[in-house]
């Protein structure tokens, strides 16, 4: 089942009790980047996708 990145990131972040700021810090990204990902404005670059997968587990394809 396909899940868009924005929904997957937000759901996993909230499930783990992280704020957008916390997630940005963990990933070495800006809070603005996390906001853009969660709102579907942008998709994380490959480097961040790998870091997100390391934090939350593999993205469902």
Given a cut of 90, is residue 60 above it in pLDDT?
A: no
Q: Where are the domains of the chain?
A: 5-56
Asked if CATH classification 1.10.260.40 holds for the domain at 5-56, the reply, yes or no, is yes
Would you say residue 1 has pLDDT above 90?
no
Secondary structure letter of residue 58 according to DSSP: P
pLDDT value for 31: 98
Cα separation, 10 vs 12, whole angstroms: 6
Q: Residue 17 above 70 pLDDT?
A: yes
State yes or no: pLDDT of 28 exceeds 70: yes
- Give residue 58's pLDDT: 84
C-alpha to C-alpha distance for 59 and 45, rounded to whole angstroms: 14
Average pLDDT value for residue range 5-26? 96
């Amino acid at each position: 089942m396909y899940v868009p990145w924005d929904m997957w990131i937000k759901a996993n972040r909230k499930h783990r009790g992280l704020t957008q700021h916390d997630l940005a810090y963990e990933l070495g990204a800006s809070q603005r980047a996390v906001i853009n990902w969660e709102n579907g404005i942008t998709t994380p670059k490959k480097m961040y996708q790998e870091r997100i997968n390391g934090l939350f587990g593999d993205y469902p394809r």
